[in-house]
A = this chain, B = another copy of it.
Amino acid sequence: MNSPAQYLPYPALDLILERVIDIPPELVWRAWTDPAMITQWFTPVPWKTIACEIDLRPGGTFKTEMQSPEGQSFANVGCYLEIIENKKLVWTSAVGPGFRPLVSAPSLAMTAIILLELHGKGTKYTAIALHKDEQDRKAHEAMGFHEGWGKALDQLVAAVKRI
């Protein structure tokens, strides 16, 4: 098999959050792959992630249930696509568990690429959201991608420091 694909930036369709954080890749990986960690940081407060299911293998389920401040809950289900421990995690909401095509894709179907790179004693963290077209990228940006994913990352770091 060839080496893993490199990400080629495509600014018109993608959103990127890049930051150096002061926890090592192994702990960022744990925060992303342990359901008991995900519920602590995945959704910017006052939203909550109240449930999480993870089957960490290609095609395995990644499911989260979010709750709005008003108490309404929303389930999101997708699957993992690529898993390189402590380095790269790719998941999507565009295909369902077991790689099965979806009956109806969510309105903002997205593939997320999380890249981790050792940086001093910390991590260079890169989160990329891939969209099908420019309209989806703009809609996601307008929903507050950078603020939301940035706040979630602050929560991730805080959750790891509580371990």
The B-contacting residues of A in range 66-121, CB under 8 angstroms, are 81-83, 85, 90, 92, 94-95, 98-103, 105, 109-111, 113
Task: Say how far A52's CB is from chain B's closest CB, in angstroms.
Answer: 16
* Interchain CB contact under 8 A, A81 and B81: yes
Note all chain B residues with C-beta closer than 8 A to A56.
1-2
Q: Number of contact residues on A: which range applies? A: 35 or more
Task: Say how far A107's CB is from chain B's closest CB, in angstroms.
Answer: 11
Q: Is A150 an interface residue (CB 8 A)?
A: no
Q: Is A58 an interface residue (CB 8 A)?
A: yes
- Bound complex: CA A98 to CA B4 (Å): 11
Q: Is A153 an interface residue (CB 8 A)?
A: no
Most chain B beta carbons < 10 A, residue from A1, A4, A55, A102: A1
Excluding A4-B58, A94-B99, 13 further A-B contacts by CB distance (< 8 Å) are A1-B83, A2-B56, A3-B57, A5-B55, A5-B98, A58-B90, A81-B99, A82-B99, A94-B95, A95-B95, A100-B132, A101-B131, A103-B132
Closest 9 CB pairs of A and B: A94-B101, A101-B132, A101-B109, A2-B57, A99-B111, A5-B59, A58-B82, A100-B130, A103-B132
6 contacts between A and B (CB under 8 A): A2-B56, A3-B57, A5-B55, A8-B98, A59-B81, A90-B99
